[in-house]
Chain A
Amino acid sequence: MRLKSTLENYLFILPAVTIFIIFYLIPFIWVFKLGMYEWDGIMPTKVFVGLGNFKEIFLEDKIWWQSMTQAGYITLIALTFQNVLAFLLALSCDREIRMKNFYRLMFFIPPVLSEVVVGLVWQWILDGNYGLLNHWLGQLGLGHLSRSWLSDPRTALTCVAIVHSWKGFGWGFLIFLAGLQTIPRELYEAARIDGANAWHSFKKITLPLMAPVAVLVGILTVLGTMQAFILIIAMTDGGPAYHTQVPVLRILASMRGSSRFGYACAQGITFGAILMAVSFIQYRLSNKMRSTYN
């Protein structure tokens, strides 16, 4: 009877496990296996190269690591500029202000727009010849600052990072706002009665209670930003030269440009491992922060 019950239990989870195995585990193993082959994606035959592709990524592919660094820079901007902006706007909208629902709607518009459309619109704004930004700079008497923002290697990556942050801050805003609304108002009232000013309430109530939310937003930001590429394709296609290349663009270049499917799979596995490591570190840090606040 007990055995039957156990079997029944396993049978319940069998569909989910089967789906997981077929659509996640097997493809993962398959991609890892392909990462050890030299294969053009067409021929039925593949040449086994062992860990050769991984060795090439780690020791020889400078552009890959340049793209990782650049994705890291965009992520850093997103973690700071984007999330601070999202948090401040969420704080503003959490108060009793006029038209707060309108602001909530406005702040959530950029994330729902198509990345290609956003990329093309910003490309037009930042265009060196007829762009709005240069036009405004000229109107403000700052014409000497005008440049071809996306073609200049000194500004291209930062422009991409800022546009990415503009496009993505709405998600953080929404999660921060939801987090802020879970904080009991009584805590603020009690603090006020005890003589705490706004800064003290913010420091002693809001920040500690929002820490887990900030960690969640941080993890989502890192994962989302490191994998961003559609916006970059639309704005610069990774140029000028390699100045806005990111890892996903390199994987695409290996797969479609060079027809090196095996190498692209190895890049995908390496990238996935790096993202997992970063997420793990963030998770450990969040646990540490939580225990500190507790």
Chain B
Amino acid sequence: MFKVRKSFGLTQLLFIGFLISLAGCSRQPAVNPQEKATITVWHWMTDREPALQELARRYEEKSGVKVNFELYAPSDAYAQKVRTAAQGGSLPDIFSILGEKVDFASFIKAGYILDLTPYMEENNGEWKNEFFAKALAVNEFSPSNKYGVNAGFYGVPIDIMTIKMLYNKDLFRKLGLNPDMPPVTFTEFLEIGRKAKQAQIQGLVSGWGEAWMIGCLANNYAFNIMGETKVLATIRGEVPYTDPDWIKVLGLFKEMQDSGLLASGVVTMVNKTAEQLFANGRAVFAFNGSWCVNVYKAMNPNLEYAAMLPPAASDKFPVSIWGGAGSSFMVNAKSEKKEEAVKFLKWLTDLDQQAYLAQMTSNLPANKYALSKVSAILGQLAGDMERATHPNIWDISESPRVLEIFNKGIQSIIIGEKTPEQVAEETQRMKEKEMARKSG
């Protein structure tokens, strides 16, 4: 009996302890007035962590406000953490939204993100005018946006990226080509691919195992072949994916494969492998983003390469490049320190801090005036910014399921499993299904 009573007491204690632990999971943490001088920032940028910590130290020295950068990597885990924190009402003062613009819009509509328009517009738009227009556009919702978000600026760009074609100058010389004259037309591009294959050198490498990068190049060519208006009309459902122009876009990937331009195994290649192949001089071309400068420098400091536009497949419209989007920070609309958070972001995007970030991390600065302080190759990658486009700049976005079918379909074309026409039909079927689901 004694034993039973002892166990009973233990059980009670355990249960009470358990209830106390549950009570500890309350939503609102107690506010300590002394903590008001601390801003918490959640980010996922492992490569930028030391530079951000240094900037936090400088800011505290200057303003007395402590900035606590908390790193949560990888980006998938970070994105999930932000969603969970939003549901639990525990978002930090500053955070980022990783994902499509539709996700960004949902966060705004749910009241988690502060409208920064008044701050951007004050003093005749002084802050707003510091940024590349495309970098700001990613964080802007125009009055005509289809997301149901009030027009305004909801994020502050920290840096930007562009995705371009890169070529190895040494391999160009080996193939008897002029390293200062990269291919301009798609035909020239394919011809170099044939030459590279004959010389047993890989042609184009890219992280097309992560299907979005295929979609990125396809989008560049869609803009080149049919122009922005028709691309956006397709997303609105006014032009079908079975349109001959779309089939032509898909057909380019078949041509690239048939000519031997594409590296073996490119459809399951992760970007890290593609970067290693290009950095080690085993591939003539790489389709990669501006983040690559840092990566190539670490892998092979002697690599001699340059950036170029994707060679044009048509002379109807200019080739676009994926760009403008990058890393942005948002301010928690429910934060008690939102004013301090905005002040910090203003300071972080000033010329000096932007130049420091660009020099330390080899990323393109969002502040256009800081561009003069970056390396030559970064300058090349930042060139042609007027051609930059990105889905997050548009007022409408394609359904992720349609994009998945389209991008995976291109993989099927490359492995010779499907024709461009088949992929176009499958994409259109999914498009119709998604439109019916959204309207229903």
Contacts and interface: CB of A to CB of B under 8 A. Distances in A.
Given A40-B106, A257-B400, A237 B11 contact: no
B79 A129 contact: no
Contacts of B284: none
Interface in A4-33: 8, 11-12, 14-15, 18-19
A99 interface: no
Given A237-B210, A256-B76, A41 B83 contact: yes
B283 to A, nearest CB: 9
Nearest to B280: A130
Contacts of B267: 151, 239-241
A239 B401 contact: no
B408 A242 contact: yes
User: Chain A's interface: helix, strand, loop or mixed, by majority?
Assistant: loop
Nearest to B19: A18
Interface string B411-434: 110110100000000000000010
Contact of B268 (A12, A41, A156): A156
Contacts of A44: 110
A8 B4 contact: yes
A128 B4 CA distance: 67
Nearest to A239: B268
Contacts of A235: 268
Interface residues of B, number: 48
Given A43-B110, A237-B210, A150 B265 contact: yes
Interface in A252-291: 253, 256-259
Contacts of A236: 209, 268
A239 B106 contact: no
Interface string B130-165: 000000000000000000000000000000000000
User: Chain B's interface: helix, strand, loop or mixed, by majority?
Assistant: helix
B99 A259 contact: yes
Contacts of B11: 11-12, 14-15
B102 interface: yes
A42 B83 contact: yes
Contacts of A128: 264-265
Interface string B105-135: 0110110000000000000000000000000
Contacts of A259: 99-100, 102-103, 106, 400
Given A15-B11, A15-B15, A236-B268, A241 B103 contact: no
Given A14-B15, A148-B264, A239 B103 contact: no
B235 interface: no
Contact of A18 (B4, B15, B79, B80): B15
Contacts of B37: none
A22 to B, nearest CB: 8
B320 to A, nearest CB: 24
B358 interface: no
Interface in A53-79: 60
A127 interface: yes
A111 interface: no
Interface in A222-253: 235-237, 239-242, 253
B404 interface: yes
A123 B103 CA distance: 33
A36 B325 CA distance: 35
B15 A239 contact: no
Contacts of B4: 8
A164 B433 CA distance: 36
Given A259-B102, A259-B103, A151 B400 contact: no
B415 A151 contact: yes
A148 B404 CA distance: 23
A127 B408 CA distance: 20
A15 B20 CA distance: 13
Contacts of B14: 15
A14 B400 CA distance: 45
A153 interface: yes
A187 B62 CA distance: 83
A41 B103 CA distance: 9
A152 interface: yes
Contacts of B15: 11, 14-15, 18
Question: Which among A14, A241, A242 has the greatest number of chain B C-beta atoms within 10 A?
Answer: A241
Given A129-B202, A153-B417, A239-B268, A12 B408 contact: no
Interface in B147-192: none
Contact of B264 (A8, A41, A151, A240): A151
A42 B107 contact: yes
Contacts of A12: 7-8, 11
Contacts of A151: 264-269, 415
A240 B277 contact: no
A253 B399 CA distance: 13
Nearest to B277: A129
Nearest to A244: B268
Contacts of A257: 400, 404
Given A129-B282, A151-B266, 8 more contacts: A15-B11, A40-B102, A151-B265, A151-B268, A237-B268, A239-B209, A241-B408, A259-B100
Interface of A: 8, 11-12, 14-15, 18-19, 40-44, 60, 123, 127-130, 148, 150-153, 156, 235-237, 239-242, 253, 256-259
23 contacts: A12-B7, A12-B8, A14-B15, A18-B18, A40-B102, A42-B110, A129-B263, A129-B277, A129-B282, A151-B267, A235-B268, A236-B268, A237-B210, A237-B268, A241-B409, A241-B412, A242-B408, A253-B404, A256-B76, A256-B79, A257-B400, A257-B404, A259-B103
Closest 3 CB pairs of A and B: A148-B265, A42-B106, A128-B265
